[in-house]
Chain A
Amino acid sequence: MGKKKKVILPPDLPVIGDDEIQVSDEDLEFIGRNREYAGFLTRLDTKSIDRHVTRVADHKEDELESLYEKRNRKASLLRLKEEEDKLHVDPVDALPVKTLDGKLEYRTADKLKSGDRTSENKSKDDEEDAGGLKLTKPEKRQKLKKSRKEAKKLAKEQEKENIGEEEKGNIGEGKLHTEVLAKVEEDLSSEELFRKKKIRLAEIGLQLLENPEENIKALKELLQICDDEDHNIVKLGLMSLLAVFKDIIPGYRIRLPTEKETEMTVSKAVRQQRFYESTLLRSYKEYLTKLIALEKQPSVHQVAVRCLCSLLDAVSHFNFRQSVLVSVVKNISSLDDTIRKLCCEAIRSLFLNEGKHGGEATLEAVRLIADQVKFHQCQLHPDSIDVFLSLMFDEDIGKSEAVEEEVRPKKKRNWRAQDGLKEVQTSDRKKNKQEIMTKTREEVSADFKAVSFAPDSRERKRMQSETLSAVFETYFRILKHSMDPSTSRSHPLLAPSLNGLGKFSHFIDLDFMGDLLRCLKKLAGHSNHNVSSTGTCLSVSERLQCCIVAFRVMRNNLDALNVDLQDFFIHLYNLLLEYRPDRDHGEVLAEALKTMLWEGKQHDMQRAAAFIKRLATFSLSHGSAEAMAALVTLKHLLQKNSKCRNLLENDAGGGSLAGLVSKYQPDATDPNLSGALASVLWELSLLMKHYNPSISTMATSISTMASMDPAHSQVFLSTASPLEAFTDSSLEQELLKTTGKPTPSSYKRRREIGNDFVIMDPYKMGNENVVDEDEVRRKLEDHFVVHKGIAENERLRRELNYTLSSISLFEDYKREKRHKKKGKR
C-alpha cells in the first residue's frame, strides 16, 4: 500500500459537461465540407486517449486501476463527509474566506480533512474494521479473501480488455506491457491459486466432517490437491487429509465384500454403506501410497512422517496398518532428531495402547524392529531399542495358562492311577461313575471357557510370548554382536539393550540364563585382557551395566537357588579403579554399588574386607558425590560383616583372620586374594577432615563403629542406598558450584573421541537434543563463512605473491638484458 501511495497521479481530466460543448454552426459547416478529413473524428477512441493522457509511466495497469477506483471512492466519501461536516459547523463561528476567484467560502472542518488524505484513508479503514469485528475472525478472513478475489477477477478482465485495445492501438508499447503484465499475472495467479486452494481444502474438510457419508467423494478431490506442485499446498493437503481420516475412520476393520456378496441384491442402506466403505478404503490406500512416496522427498519428508506417525497412533486397528508400520519403523533411527522422536513416540504409544489393536500391531512392530536391527548389523540409534522399554507384558495370562498345564499332567496321573486300579480290578460301577464325572467336568469347563473368553487369553498369551521372543532375540543379537571381536566399532545399542534385559529379566527362560551370564561375563571383562589386541573396548559404565544386569537377572530368578556371582564381583573390584568421574557416569557406579554390594545378602568375609578397603581408597580419591556413595556402601558392609570391623583396629596384621595372605596387596585383581583383612582403614581418619561436612560426619560415624557391640549396631542400619546418597550429594555439589562447569569440556572431549556417525551415548544424546537446531545451523554458517573468508584470503595472497614474484622476475630479466646490451656496447 505504501508504495502505491507514492505514485503521483495525473490530474483529473477536466469535466466537460454537455452544455459546455457548444458546437458552432461554422464548425458544422466545416465538417460537412471536408467530410474526408473530419472522418477521423467519428473513429476517435476517447477512452484510449483518456488512458494515454492519464497514464503514469512504468506503473502497473491494475494498480493504477485500483488507485483510480480508490480515488473515486475517496472523492465520493469526501464529498459525503464534507456535507456532513458542513452541517455541523456553525457558519457564524467560521468567517467566510474569499478565494482568488472571488467566491466566498465558508470555512468548515473539511479543510483539515482534505489537507490530510492519509488520515482520512486510515479512518476509513478503521471504519471497515469496526464493521468487520462483528464477524468472527475466520469469517472475516474468508470474506476478505473473497472480496479480494472478486476485485482481482475484475481487474484481470479489464486487463485483458486493455491488452486487446492496446494491441490494436500501439503495438510497440503493448509489447513491453504484455511482458510485465504476464509476469505480474503469474505472481498474482500463484498467490491467488494458493489462497483458492487453501479455501477449497478448508471447504472440503468441513464438508467431510459434517457429513462423511454423503461427501465421501470429496476425498478424491482432496487427494488430487495433494498432487500439486507447490510444496506448501501438498503439506496442507496431507495434513487436512490426516485430520479427515482420523475423524471418519470407523472403529473397526473394513472388509471389502466378496464377489458373491456384491452379486446379491441388498437394500439401499447396505449398498450405500458398502459404497462409502469401499471409497473410504480406496482413498485411504491412495493416501498411504502417496505418503510413502512423498516420504522420500526431502521437502515434505517431515510432514509425511508426521502424518504416518499420527495415523499409526490414531487408527492402529484399521486396514493397511502393516505398511504404515513398515515406513514408521524405517524412520525410527533417522538422523533427524524430530523425525526420530516422532517415530519413537508413535511406536511407544502403540505399545502402550495395546487394547486398541489387540497386541497384533505390537508383535508386528517388534518384529520389524528386530529385522531392522538385523539388517543394519546393530548400528542404529539407541532410541530405536529404547522403545522396547515401554512394552508391557501381562504375567497373569501366563499364570492361568500355567495352571491349566499343571492340571493336565495331574489328569494323566489320574489315568495312570486308574490303570493301576484296573489291575487291581475294582468294581465296574465305580469306574463308570468316575467316567461320567470326568465327562461332565470337561463339559462344564468347556462351557466356562466359551463364556470367559479363554481362547482369547490363549491367543494373547501366544502373541505375548512371540513378542517376547522377538525382543530377546534382538537383545541377544546385540549382545552377541558387541562380543564379536571382529567388529571394531562401538556398540550404540548395547546400553539400551542392557537396560531392557534388566527390565524383562524375569521373563528370561532358565535355559538361556547360562549363556546370557557367560555373555555378560565376557562383556564385563572385555577390556581386561584384549584391549591392545582387538581395540574393542567397552566403556567402564557399559561394563558396570553388564554387572548390574547380571545381578538383576539372577535376583529375579532367585526362586530356589542362591548363586554367588563371584566373577562379577571381581570385575566390579577392578572397575572401581578404572572409574574416572568425568568420563564415566557416577549414577551407574552408584547403581552397581547398590545392586551388588548394598543389596547383596551374604558376602565372603575376605571379599567384603577387600571391598571395604578398596571403597575407602576410592572415596579418598574422588569427588564428594562418589565418595558419599562409596562410604554408604562401606558402612553397610561393615555393619553386615562384624568380623570385618577388625579393619578399624589400629594394629595391622589381622591376626588369625588374615588367612594365607599375610600382607595387604592393593594391586591384586581378586578380592579374595588381596589380604585386605591384614590392613588398616587409615583412609577414614583422613576422610574425617574432609571439606564436605556430610562426608566427614559419615567417616566419623564409621570409625566409631569398632566400639559398638554387634547386637547394638543393627539399630543403626542406614536406609539410604548408595544411589540416593550419590544423587543427593551430587545435587548438593551442583548447588555449591558457583562458577565454571566442568561438564562442557568433558563432553567436548568425548565428542572428539566419538565416532562421527551415530552418537553412541544415551546420556550425551539427552544433552545434545537440548541444543536448538537453528542455533547450531547459525553457528555452523558463521563458522563456514569465516572459513570461506580465510580460504579466499589465502588464495588472494597466493595470487598476489605469484604476481609479485613474476614482476620481480621480469624486472630481473630486463635488468639483465640491459646489462647484456651494455656489455655488447
Chain B
Amino acid sequence: MRPLDEKETAAVFEKLFKFTGPNLKLIVERPAVEGPASDDPGGYCLRLQKNRVYYASESLVRRATSVARDRLVSIGTCIGKFTKGGSFRLTIQSLDLLAAHARRKVWLKPTAEMSFLYGNPVLKSGLARITEGVSAGDGVVVFSMSDLPLGFGVAARSTQDCRKAHADAIVVNRQADAGEYLRNEDDL
C-alpha cells in the first residue's frame, strides 16, 4: 500500500474530473466521518494497493499500516484500477462517490433499466430524462427513475443531438453498471 505518485494521481483525477467536474475538489477535501470522534476528523486520501486505487479516510489508512502488504486485501472503497498498460479505469465500486458528485446525469425509463444492467448501452428509447448541456464525450452517471444510481458511462451524443436522434440511437456508452456485481463477482 502506497500513496499515488504524480503521474498516477493525474490519471485518476482526470478520470474523476470527467464525471464530477469542479466537484472533484469536494471529493478530495471531504471531511471524514469514520474513525474515532476527535477534534480533527481528517480527510480522505487515495492509496494504491496491488494495482487498485482505494479511497479511504486517513484514520483508516493509519490503522491499516499495521497489516502486512501482501496480507491486505482491501481498504476503504476501491474506485478503480490501473491496467497492465498503465492506464486507469474506474470500476463499479466508485459509483456511489460519482453519483453524489456527478454533474451530468441520465435517468432511465423503468423498461430500459434491466437492459442497462445486463451491460448494454443506453438507447434513446430508454431515455427518460437527461441533464441539459451534455456534450459528446462527457462522463454521465445513469440513474433509475427513483434516483437509484445504476452505473456510469460516456455520452455518445450531446443533449441537442439527442432530440433529433432515432429511438434506437445510442446515447450513453456503458463503462460500468451495477450488474457487474453479479456478472464479474470474481474479478472485483
Contacts and interface: CB of A to CB of B under 8 A. Distances in A.
Contact of A564 (B97, B100, B105, B164): B105
A562 B145 CA distance: 12
A566 B132 contact: yes
Interface of A: 510, 513-514, 517-518, 521, 554, 560-568, 602, 604-606, 659-662, 670, 672-673
Given A562-B128, A564-B105, A517 B100 contact: no
Given A660-B97, A673-B26, A510 B163 contact: yes
A607 to B, nearest CB: 9
A564 B163 contact: no
B30 A660 contact: yes
B75 interface: no
A584 B103 CA distance: 30
Contacts of A673: 23, 26, 100-101
Interface string B7-50: 00000000000000001001000100100000000000000000
Interface in B149-163: 158-160, 162-163
A561 B96 contact: no
Nearest to A566: B131
A660 B96 contact: yes
Nearest to B171: A561
Contacts of B145: 602
Contacts of A662: 33
Interface of B: 23, 26, 30, 33, 96-97, 100-101, 103, 105, 107, 127-133, 145, 147, 158-160, 162-164
A561 B33 contact: no
A673 B26 CA distance: 9
A562 B129 contact: yes
Contacts of A672: 100-101
Nearest to A605: B147
Given A510-B164, A561-B159, 7 more contacts: A517-B133, A560-B163, A561-B163, A562-B130, A564-B107, A602-B107, A660-B101
A564 B101 contact: no
Contacts of B131: 563-564, 566
A561 B130 contact: yes
Given A659-B100, A662-B33, A564 B129 contact: yes
Contacts of B158: 514
A349 to B, nearest CB: 38
Nearest to A662: B33
A554 B132 contact: yes
A606 B105 CA distance: 13
B127 A561 contact: yes
Nearest to A657: B147
Contacts of B23: 670, 673
A568 B129 CA distance: 16
18 contacts: A517-B132, A517-B133, A561-B127, A562-B128, A563-B129, A563-B159, A564-B107, A564-B131, A565-B132, A566-B103, A566-B105, A605-B147, A661-B100, A662-B33, A672-B101, A673-B23, A673-B100, A673-B101
A510 B100 contact: no
Contacts of B132: 517, 554, 563-568
B162 A561 contact: yes
Contacts of A554: 132
Contacts of B162: 561
A562 to B, nearest CB: 4
Nearest to A608: B147
Contacts of A567: 132-133
A518 B129 CA distance: 19
6 A-B pairs with the lowest CB-CB distances in the bound complex, closest first: A660-B100, A562-B129, A564-B131, A563-B132, A514-B160, A565-B132
Contacts of B129: 562-564, 602
Contacts of A670: 23
A545 B133 CA distance: 20
B158 to A, nearest CB: 8
A602 B106 CA distance: 13
B130 A564 contact: yes
A561 B165 CA distance: 10
Contacts of A604: 147
A514 B130 CA distance: 14
Contacts of B26: 673
Contacts of B30: 660
B143 to A, nearest CB: 8
A672 B149 CA distance: 14
B97 to A, nearest CB: 7
A271 B182 CA distance: 98
Nearest to A515: B160
Nearest to B135: A514
A673 B97 CA distance: 12
Nearest to B134: A563
A658 to B, nearest CB: 10
Contacts of A562: 107, 128-130
A662 B127 CA distance: 31
A566 B127 CA distance: 17
A522 B90 CA distance: 32
Contacts of A605: 147
A659 B160 CA distance: 31
B15 to A, nearest CB: 18
A565 to B, nearest CB: 5
